[in-house]
Amino acid sequence: MDKVTVLAPAKLNLSLDIVGLLPGGYHALDMVMQAVTLYEKIELEKSREITLELPGSPLKADEKNTAWQAARRFLEAAGIRGGARITVHKAIPAQAGMAGGSADAAAVLVGLNRLYGGPLSFCRLLELGAQVGADVPFSLMGGTCRVQGKGDILKALPPCPDCRFVIVMPEEGVSTPAAFARYDRMPAAYHPDVEALEEAVRKKDLSALCGAAGNALQPCSGTEETEHICRRLRQEGAITALMTGSGAAVFGIFADEAGAEQARRTLQGEYRQVYLTAPDTFGARVTEEA
């Protein structure tokens, strides 16, 4: 084959705690992550060198892009002299805490492995992904996972209880380094109960899941819109609402499609970027071959 198309889902943090510091100054994290049905679409073609296109996106298509970095690492690890023409069709908001760049990198790793005949194991792809970005291993795994360390320690969990997520992206994104810097200056930190959230997932108890959901970085988002959007989502029927990752996107958890759809319609009158999504049980995957 000469071309593949890959879909890679966005992620939400059902819970995010900061539990210490790792060598090199990285924060040690403890999280439950959830893949959702909002996708980046990535097309990959065999080529002599790596090229990257981001049609319609303001992001730079250069060697610093995670998709380009993932391609380079894959080709080096697999001992392949060829390249890839990569076209990323963006759908996940930038600086949202939803792993858009990581989804692209995961898609490139999965797609190139298929395109070049599967020279690398999934475990090796996870290792390469961790070298590109903290969320890339989860973007490869997908589903519902307990994620620890820098994002490189993953434990697959059963699918989360059936629900819907309404995601609202504020006008301004949030810088991840800035959010962690604000966290480090806080006199007292909030620590959600990640263990309780995992137990709720295992018991398929949506009420308990919502009760345990939380994000230690939420007070550090740096945007006043975060709490306002959380209130609006609750007013529209969300069982709970919180920020994902280091922000800036906020999501509400709804028990059913009808309530979530009504909330989406209402909030679309107030914000430009509002998404209705469901849990996804997979990570990046090839959907077309040619």
Catalytic residues: 11, 135
What is d(CA 237, CA 253) in angstroms, rounded to the nearest whole number?
9
Look at the alpha carbons of 44, 289, 279, 19 in this order and tell me if their dihedral is positive or negative. Answer: negative
Residue 240 CB partners (closer than 8 Å, separation 6+): 210, 211, 213, 234, 252, 253
Q: What is the DSSP string of 216-285?
A: TTGGGS--THHHHHHHHHHHTT-SEEEE-TTSS-EEEEESSHHHHHHHHHHHTTT-SEEEEE-B-S--SE
Q: How many CB atoms lie within 10 A of CB 181?
A: 12
Nearest to 71 by CA among 12, 165, 9, 6: 6
DSSP strand pairing (50-53 vs 83-89)? parallel
Contact 34, 245 (CB under 8 A): no
State phi, psi for 215 to the nearest 5 degrees.
-140, 115
What is d(CA 212, CA 161) in angstroms, rounded to the nearest whole number?
14
Element (H, E) at 60: none
Name the one residue in this structure whose structure tokens are 């992001």.
Answer: 59
State phi, psi for 274 to the nearest 5 degrees.
-130, 135
